[in-house]
Amino acid sequence: MTLFAGPVFEMAKRQFHIIADHLEIPVDERERLLMPKRAIAVSCPIHMDDGRTAVFQGFRVQHHLTLGPAKGGTRFSANVDLGEIAALAIWMSWKCALAELPYGGGKGGVAVDPLSLSLRELENLSRRYMEEMIPFVGPRTDIMAPDMGTNEQVMAWFMDTYSMNKGVTIPEIVTGKPVGSGGTLGRREATGHGVAFLAFRALDRLGIEPSRATAIIQGFGNVGSHAALGLAARGVRVTGISDHTIALYDARGLDVKAAAAYAARHGVLKGFADAAAVSPRDLLTLPCDVLAPCAVERVIDGEIAAKLQCRVIAEGANGPTTPEADEALAQRKEIFVVPDILCNAGGVIVSYFEWVQDLQQYFWSRDEVMDKLERALDRSWSKVVERAEKDGVSTRTAAMAIGVERVREAKRARGLFP
Ligand code: NAD
């Protein structure tokens, strides 16, 4: 019996076994690499505005701690379950290892639709979740960050709750905090900036000028909006954007700055340019140079993959492409995939910079952060592209192989205790 179930966990497992087969990892070593070290499930009771007490389920999974503390975001989403969080923690492990960060993979979540809560209820829940997690996390054990449904404000509440419990301010317990509370310059836009930066690397490789390129972006939250702004800043015509309320397409190009301002004000895209509305599923298969899924898992399935009309898939989201879609994409050599653990690593790389700055209490300029981020992404990009060419494998297989190998080597070197 396994605690971990569901389609997202099955996907992470299947992806791992594809890599383990490629690396010829013996069967008896696989379980130790794949299965999470710790999984924590908590009940979070909070006072609601109407006087009721509501209880929300929360999770945290620490996949491995071999290379350092677990590191990963916290997701507030109605459908979160332990299997999904475990899958996301596993992906964080390969991502951190690929980027050569001194971290294992972690992830957390609460099964709640954050948009259904008032600000006070959201604060109550954020604080209670962190309170429940205090025995299991720490700046040297497990460091949280934002993910879907959470943001800088939630991180500030997490940090304050942890610090109040310890009696001293401990900013390094979370990353993605407001700059005024120990956050770093550049973290807010880091993931989306990285997605755009690597999409440009891919366009360059295909000989496509950014000023002649078009892009479609699914998801318009932290990652999607900054990816769109980053692409538009270098002349890419963003023809499609979407969130959970609406999908918009205009072949002449959408004003992403205005869309970002609208989404910041209203929380959603609905109402921004409703005349341009198209079916959300169709948006993915409309013609474009860069398709950037920046929302949820498993949106590019085998059927969609066969219909794609893009040249580059820049995976801002975690796990947007199913293994069936990967099989279909293997036949479509004209499409270049920048896999999630490479493409969206900008977030955790700058989170690492934030943690380092907090530990040293010595803060860097935005230029310093962005310069170090781009160098780190370039190193990973080169490793992945070279490995894919050398082994004759997909960029996903190459990226994951590098990540899995690093964790495997560290486990081998440290041995098995006791
Ligand atoms: P967010 O909560 O800021 O935004 C999520 C966006 O996706 C919202 O616009 C929402 O409306 C939209 N969305 C949700 N379901 C959708 C659907 N079915 N179709 C279209 N749009 C949908 O979250 P985020 O931080 O931008 O995270 C997005 C993705 O990027 C997630 O997969 C997350 O794990 C991944 N990621 C985030 C970071 C980070 O730094 N925030 C880092 C790495 C990876």
Average confidence (pLDDT) over 126-140:
98
pLDDT in tens, 211-225: 999 999 999 999 999
Cβ atoms 300, 313 nearer than 8 A:
yes
Q: Is the CB of 296 under 6 A from ligand 1?
A: yes
Q: Edge to edge, what strands does the sheet with 237-242 contain? A: 277-278, 247-249, 237-242, 214-218, 290-293, 312-314, 336-338
Residue nearest to atom 21 of ligand 1 (CA): 243
Domains of the chain and any CATH numbers = 7-181 (3.40.50.10860), 188-343 (3.40.50.720)
Q: Is the CB of 147 under 6 A from ligand 1?
A: yes
Average confidence (pLDDT) over 74-98:
97
Q: Is the CB of 69 under 6 A from ligand 1?
A: no
Residue nearest to atom 32 of ligand 1 (CA): 317
Q: Is the CB of 146 under 6 A from ligand 1?
A: yes
Average confidence (pLDDT) over 7-33:
97
pLDDT range class, residue 64, cuts 50, 70, 90:
very high
Cα–Cα–Cα angle for 237, 240, 244, rounded to 5 degrees: 145
107 is catalytic: yes
pLDDT in tens, 35-45: 999 999 999 99
| Ligand 1 centroid to residue 222 C-alpha, Å | 7
**Percentage of residues in the chain with pLDDT exceeding 90?**
98
Work out the mean pLDDT of the chain and round it to a whole number: 97
- Which is catalytic among the residues 71, 107, 177, 390? 107
- Look at residue 184 in the predicted model and tell me its pLDDT: 98
pLDDT in tens, 348-390: 999 999 999 999 999 999 999 999 999 999 999 999 999 999 9
The token pair at 116 is: 């259904």
- Look at residue 1 in the predicted model and tell me its pLDDT: 58
Determine the Cα–Cα distance for residues 277 and 272; give it in Å rounded to an integer. Answer: 10
Q: Is the pLDDT of residue 418 over 90?
A: no
Determine the Cα–Cα distance for residues 394 and 262; give it in Å rounded to an integer. Answer: 38
Determine the Cα–Cα distance for residues 254 and 396; give it in Å rounded to an integer. Answer: 30
Residue nearest to atom 28 of ligand 1 (CA): 295
pLDDT range class, residue 417, cuts 50, 70, 90:
confident
pLDDT range class, residue 286, cuts 50, 70, 90:
very high
| Ligand 1 centroid to residue 1 C-alpha, Å | 31
Residue 176, sorted as left (phi over 0), alpha (psi -120 to 50) or beta, turns out to be left
Q: Is the pLDDT of residue 316 over 80?
A: yes
